[in-house]
Amino acid sequence: MAPYIDDALLDDPDELTRKDSQGTLRALATSGAQVREALTLGAEAGIDRLADQDRPRSVLVAAVGGSSIVADVLELLAEPGSPVPVQARRNLPMPGWVGPMDLVVAVSLSGRAPGPLAVAAEAARRGASLLTVGADDSPLAEVCRRARGIHVGIGQTARASSRTSLWTLLTPVLVGAARLGLLPATDAVLEQVADRLDERAAELRPSSAAFVNPAKLLAVQLAETVPVVLGDGPLGGVAAARASAMLARTARIPAPYGELPDAASTIVACFDGPYTSIGGRRAGTYDDSRIRLGDIDTSGWEPHHFDEPDGELLERPHDPDGGREVFADPYREGPRSPQLGLLMLRDAPAQTPSPETIRAESVVEAVLTTAREAGVKVMEVRAGAGAPVVRLADHIAMVDFTATYLAIGLGLDPSISPHVADLRDRTR
């Protein structure tokens, strides 16, 4: 049975505040301010010095937990045109080839995450250049200063958690990579990111009624499903990974994710499973989801492509509720299983379509058509136009607010997980 979400609660400001004990929604609304503050803090820390240094042989990014998307974003944006390789590393051991000709980037909001801290210390021992982002009064900052690297503090705008402080952590890394000529994230582009995040925060604000707030509407739809998330390409893939992490960590809902076209078959295989109207049964086999001619009015139905000896069999017509019976008796038949949901994160339409983008769009449409025919609940989110990092910011804002509203609507505190706290206590 699908979990119950109280959508009326999403329009109650007092309840939103009470359930959101650490101010997650308020922290997410500061994302644009985080970008602007990080630009200032980076300049004060001397990040522009990177432009005067020799280009590194490679860049290694160490980030874990809620900060791990920093490495994913840098890889995404640098990959198309970076003259040097960019790799992610969560913890030691560090690759043996890292040395004085390489740059190591370590990110941790508290400056105490064991993985990034250990990678930064090992990089310093090997003489690699260091760029770190985190709390000023932290072991990570101390390691960087001893190695004469560049450390950018986190300021005052967002300190709740690494999940809600993404742009505080990501912005200096993008600036540093831009100064080295690895990607085109100029200060002007990052100002556009800040503006887009401000626009999203206003659109998705808590005081906006659920029937006009896209994040609240999406949260209600997701609550009725067993969700999977797909992104239509590398940018959508990073956003899908963020959505999966936020749904799991914030809303406590597991959501497998993938990137098209590679993940198409993996996700589409789920359409044959127990959470769709097909339920593991393909066309051409007899089962009780088909109805014989003469039982009811069949006008408008499409005939099946085979005959049984005692009459033609028909598929049920497409139903936005996934082929479920409207008048089913839950007391006699038991509670219905939740419906599979597909959240498709789509990039903005290409300004100049190419054969590659046309082919990619056809794959997306094929997946969506297959999903709808299988009775999957389809939800689509389109990024607005802009530079790649601006479009990515669009998606991230949407999934972050959605996961938070979903948690609150389910009666959960988006900031605090008792089981995560128990795990930390047991692993100290």
Predicted local distance difference test score (pLDDT) of residue 335: 55
Q: Is the pLDDT of residue 310 over 70?
A: no
Q: Which amino acid is at 384?
A: G
Q: Residues 259, 34, 162, 181: is their CA dihedral positive or negative?
A: positive
Banded model confidence at residue 289, pLDDT cuts 50, 70, 90? very low
Q: Is the pLDDT of residue 326 over 80?
A: no
Q: What is the 3-state secondary structure (H, E, C) of 9-38?
A: HHHCHHHHHHHCCCCHHHHHHCHHHHHHHH
- pLDDT tens across 103-133, in order? 999 999 999 999 999 999 999 999 999 999 9
Banded model confidence at residue 251, pLDDT cuts 50, 70, 90? very high
Q: Is the pLDDT of residue 153 over 90?
A: yes
* Sheet-wide strand order for 103-108: 86-89, 59-62, 103-108, 129-134, 150-152
Q: Pick the range with the lowest mean pLDDT from 69-73, 247-251, 267-271.
A: 267-271
Predicted local distance difference test score (pLDDT) of residue 301: 41
Note the maximum CA span of the chain.
84
Predicted local distance difference test score (pLDDT) of residue 281: 54
> 295 vs 408, which has greater pLDDT?
408
Cβ atoms 380, 346 nearer than 8 A? yes
| pTM score, whole prediction | 0.86
Mean pLDDT of 409-414: 93
Give me the torsion for CA of 195, 201, 202, 208, rounded to 10°.
170
Predicted local distance difference test score (pLDDT) of residue 303: 41
Task: Provide the terminal-to-terminal Cα distance of the chain, rounded to the nearest Å.
Answer: 37
Mean pLDDT of 350-378: 92
Q: Is the pLDDT of residue 416 over 90?
A: no
Q: Is the pLDDT of residue 305 over 60?
A: no
Q: Is the pLDDT of residue 333 over 60?
A: no
Mean pLDDT of 379-400: 97
In angstroms, the CA 402 to CA 201 distance is: 12
- pLDDT tens across 70-101, in order? 999 999 999 888 899 999 998 999 999 999 99
Predicted local distance difference test score (pLDDT) of residue 61: 96
Banded model confidence at residue 336, pLDDT cuts 50, 70, 90? low
- pLDDT tens across 178-208, in order? 999 999 899 999 999 999 999 999 999 999 9
Q: Pick the range with the lowest mean pLDDT from 75-79, 129-133, 159-163, 271-275.
A: 159-163
Q: What is the mean pLDDT of the chain?
A: 86
Read off the tokens for 60.
């290694």
